[in-house]
Structure 1
C-alpha cells in the first residue's frame, strides 16, 4: 500500500495578503492623533520652560526689593481663583495627573467630556505648573493626548467603542512620548502601566503614534535629548555591591512616597478652613519662600537635575551633602503639598527629581569614600532617577527606557537594571502597590 503524503505548504499559504492585517488600519489614524498631540504638548512644554525662566528673574528681584512680594502674593490669590474657576464642574477629570481617569475609561467605569477636559487641562495645568508648584507636565500631557484621541475618534473617524479606546491609548502614549521626547518609553508606559496588554493590536499603532508625536516636538526643541547628561565612564566593578545598598534605601524611600501620596486626600480633608476648590492657594504661597531661597528648585523640574550634575570639589563635599538632604526634604514635602491640592498636574517628573537627588547623595558618598571615581558621579544620579521612579510607579521597564532616552546614553543598562530591580523588590516587599495609578484610581468615585 502506498501512503499519500500531503503537499508541502508554500509561503503564500502561510503569509497574509498585503495590507489585510486588521490593526494596520488604525496606524494612520493614530499617527494623525499623535502628531496633533505632539504639537499641543510641545506648546505646553515651551510655555512652562519659558515661564520658569521668568521666575528665575522675578525671585532675585523680590529678594532685593521685598515690597514686590505684595503684588506677587496677590497674583497667587488671583491664580488660585482662576484654577478654581477652570476646574469647576469637571473636578473628577481635571485634578491630578489624569492617568487614573484614563484607566477608568478603558475599564468601562468612566466617560470623559473630551473637549471640556482638553482645554481646561491645558489652561489649568499651566496655571498650576508655571508659578513653580512641584508638579510634572507629563500627567496633563498624557490626558490631553487621550482627549485628542477621543475627539478624533468621535468627530473625524467615527469609530466603534473598541477602536475609540485604541485611539485614546495612542493619544495617551503620545502625550508621554512628547512630554519627554521618549517614544519607546511612551509606548512601554502605556503597555506596562495603563493597559497591561502587550498585544500587536495595541503596541504597533501605539509605537507609530509615539514616533509621530516625538517628531512633532522636534519643531520646538530639536533632536537633543531633553535631559542630556554627558556620561563618560562606566561604573567600576567594585562599585556593584554598593548598588544593592543603594537599591534597598531607594526602594524604602519609594515606599514612603507611596504611603504619603495615598494619604493626601485624608490629610487635605482636615483643612476645612479653606474650601476644597481653593486648596491650591496653600502650595502657591508655600513655594514663595522656596523660590526666594533658590528659584531653580521650583517646578517639575529637570533644571534641578542639571544643577545636581555639577560635582563639587572635594573640600566642600560635606556642605554639599547637607544641601542635597535639604533639597530632598523640600522637594518631597513640596511635591506632596502640590499634588494633594485641587490642581491639575503630574508626579512623574517630581519623582524623577527625587530619585536624582537620592542618586546624587549616594554618588557623593561613594566618591568621597573612594569607591567611585569622580567621573562616575553622574552615573549614580541616573541610577537613582531610574530606580526611584520604577519602585514608586511600579514601571521598571518604562523607567529604564525613559532614563535612557532622556539622558541620551545606553551605557548604564546593566547597573540600571540591578538598582531598579532591588529598589522595586524592596518597595514591593514593604507593601507598596504594584501600580501607583491603580491605587490612585481606587481612591476616586467614578460614575459612568
Structure 2
C-alpha cells in the first residue's frame, strides 16, 4: 500500500509539470489524448473480469462478504485493484487512494487466512477485517481511524477481539508507511490559534448547511448508475473514457485540483492563497466556489464511471473548499478572527466527511491524526454532530451500506 500511495503522489506531481507544458505546446495534446485512450483500453481489460467487485472503493463489496452475500477471489482482486487503481487515479481523476488500499488490505488478509494459515471462517473474517484497518492506516497514516472505520462502517459493532487485533495490524501498517514517508502527519496543518467561543454560534449554521450538502452528495452518488446507464453505446468497463477525456481541460486550467487531492488542501491553507483568504478576499471566494462546483461534479463523474477509486479524499477536498468559503464569509462579516481561517477549513472537512459517511467517530479521529492536532476537538465534534443529524433527519444513510444495497439488493 505504501508503494501504491507513493506512485500516485509522484504521478500527480508530474501532472503539475505536464499540463503547463501542454498549455504552452498544444500540439502535444494529440499524443496525450491517444495515450488517454490507451489507458482506458488497458484499464477496461484489467477490470472487466471482476468488474462488479472492483468498481468504486471496494468497501460495499467487503461489507457484502461479511454478510455472506459476496465472495472475492483475493489474488485476482488484489492485483487488478492495484493496477486498475493506478490507471484511474494517476491520470488525475477525482478519486481517493484509500478505497483501493482498504480493499487490497482486505484481500491480503483473506489470502493469508486461506492460503497460509488455513483458518476457519470466523478467523478468516477477522484477518479480512484486520486488512481493512491496515489498508486505511497505510493510506492516511491513521491507525486509530483505520480501526474505528472498521468498527463503525464495516462490522457495525465493537468486539474486543476484532478491535485489538485490527488495531495491531493498523499500527504495523502505519509503521511501514513511516519508513516510506517519515513521521510527519500526511496532511500536517497545525492550528496555532484556538477558536473564540463567540465563533461557535455561527458554526451551528455551518453545520446545518454542511448537513444539507451531505444529503445532496449521497443523493447524487446513488443516482450515478442510472445516469451512466444511458451510455449504452460504450461498454461499462470502458466508461472511464468519459472522465479521462474531461479531466484534460480541467488539468489545462488548474492542475492543482486534479486527483484526490492532498496538494489542493495544502494549497488552500498555506502560502498566498491563505493570506488572501484571511484578508477576506471576495475574488478568492468566487474562485473557491468555482473549484467547489467543479470538484463536486467531476467527483461524481469520476466515481460513477466504473473504475477503482475511493471517495474519502474527494469528500475531504469538498469539505476543505466549503471551509474556505465559510471562513472568508465569516472573516468578512467580522464573526471570525482571521487567524482562525485554518480552523474552519479543518472543521468543515471533518463535518462534511462525518455526515456523508455517517461515521462521526471515524471523521474526528481521522482528521485529528491526519492534521496532527487535537486542539479543536470540541468544535469539530459540534459541527460534525449537527451535520450528521441534519443529514439523518433528511433520510441520509451510511453511504457504503446504501451502495451495497444498490449493488446486491440487501
Q: 1:325 aligns with which of 266, 285, 289?
A: 289
**Structure 2 partner of 1:402:** 366
Matched, 1:442 2:402: no
**Of the candidates 65, 68, 85, which is equivalent to residue 125 of structure 1?**
85
Report how many residues are paired.
406
Which whole-Å CA distance do the structure 2 matches of 1:386 and 1:315 have between them? 24
Q: Look up the match of 1:30.
A: none
Aligned counterpart in structure 2 of residue 59 of structure 1, from 9, 19, 40: 19
Q: Displaced runs of 4+ in structure 1, greater than 6 A? A: none
2:275 aligned partner:
312
What are the residue-to-residue correspondences of 1:253-402 with 2, within 5 Å?
253-310=213-270, 311-313=274-276, 317-402=281-366
Cα contact 1:193–1:395 (8 A) shared by 2: yes
Unaligned runs of at least 5 residues, structure 1: 1-40
| Residue deviations 1:284-312 (CA, integer Å, cap 9, x gap) | 00111110011010000011111110323
- 8 Å CA contact 1:76–1:285 kept in 2: the answer is yes
Matched, 1:137 2:97: yes
Contact 1:396 1:420 (C-alpha < 8 Å) held by counterparts: yes
- Matched residue of 2:298: which SS? helix
Alignment-derived partner of residue 43 in structure 1? 3
Counterpart CA distance in 1 for 2:237 and 2:80 is 15
Verify: 1:243 aligned to 2:207, yes or no. no
Q: Secondary structure at the match of 2:275?
A: coil
Larger CA deviation: 198-207 vs 303-312: 303-312
Alpha carbons 1:73, 1:285 under 8 Å: kept: yes
Q: Determine which of 75, 80, 85 is the counterpart of 1:115.
A: 75
Q: Which residue of 2 aligns with 1:21?
A: none
Q: Distance in 2 between the 1:113 and 1:289 partners? A: 38
- The structural deviation recorded for 1:273 is 2.6
Partner of 2:134: 174
Offset at 1:316? Answer: 6.9
Q: 1:423 aligns to what?
A: 387
Indicate the residue corresponding to 2:63 in structure 1: 103
| 96-105 vs 301-310, which moves further | 301-310
How much has 1:361 moved relative to structure 2?
0.8
Q: Supply the RMSD in Å over aligned alpha carbons.
A: 1.1
Alignment of 1:144-223 (within 5 A): 144-223=104-183
Displacement after TM superposition at 1:315 (Å): 6.3
Once the two structures are superposed, residues 119-147 of structure 1 have per-residue CA deviations (whole angstroms, 9 ceiling, x without a partner) of 00000000000000000000000000000
SS of the aligned residue for 1:271 comes to coil
What is the distance in 2 between the residues matched to 1:424 and 1:383? Answer: 13
- State the secondary structure of the residue aligned to 1:246: helix
Asked if the contact 2:280–2:331 (Cα under 8 Å) also holds between the matched residues in 1, the reply is: no
Secondary structure of 2:408's partner?
coil
- State the alpha-carbon separation in 1 of the partners of residues 351 and 243 from structure 2: 27
Asked which structure has the greater CA Rg, the reply is: 1
Structure 2 match to 1:11:
none
Following superposition, the deviation at residue 446 of structure 1 comes to 8.1
> Which residue, 391, 395, 413 being the options, matches 2:377?
413
3-state SS, counterpart of residue 274 of structure 1: coil
What runs of 5+ residues in structure 2 fail to find an aligned partner? none
CA distance in 1, matches of 2:128, 2:328: 43
Equivalent residues of 1:99, 1:143 under 8 A apart: yes
Distance across 2 between alignment mates of 1:438 and 1:342:
18
CA contact (8 A) 1:187 1:203 kept: yes
Matched-pair contact (CA < 8 Å) for 2:279–2:338: no
Residues 317-351 of structure 1: CA distance to partner in whole angstroms, max 9, x if unpaired?
A: 11000000001000000100000002100111100
Calculate the TM-score normalised by the size of structure 1.
0.89
C-alpha distance in structure 2 between counterparts of 1:189 and 1:226, whole Å: 18
The alignment partner of 1:443 has SS state of: helix
Q: Distance in 2 between matches of 1:412 and 1:121?
A: 36
Q: SS at 1:312's partner residue?
A: helix
Deviates more, 1:142-151 or 1:307-316: 307-316
CA distance in 1 between partners of 2:48 and 2:381 (Å): 43
Cα deviation code 1:359-395 (max 9, x no counterpart): 1111111112111111100000100000000100110
Per-residue CA shift, 1:35-92, capped at 9, x if unaligned? xxxxxx1000000000001100000000001111101111110000011000121011
- Between stretches 312-321 and 350-359, larger displacement belongs to 312-321
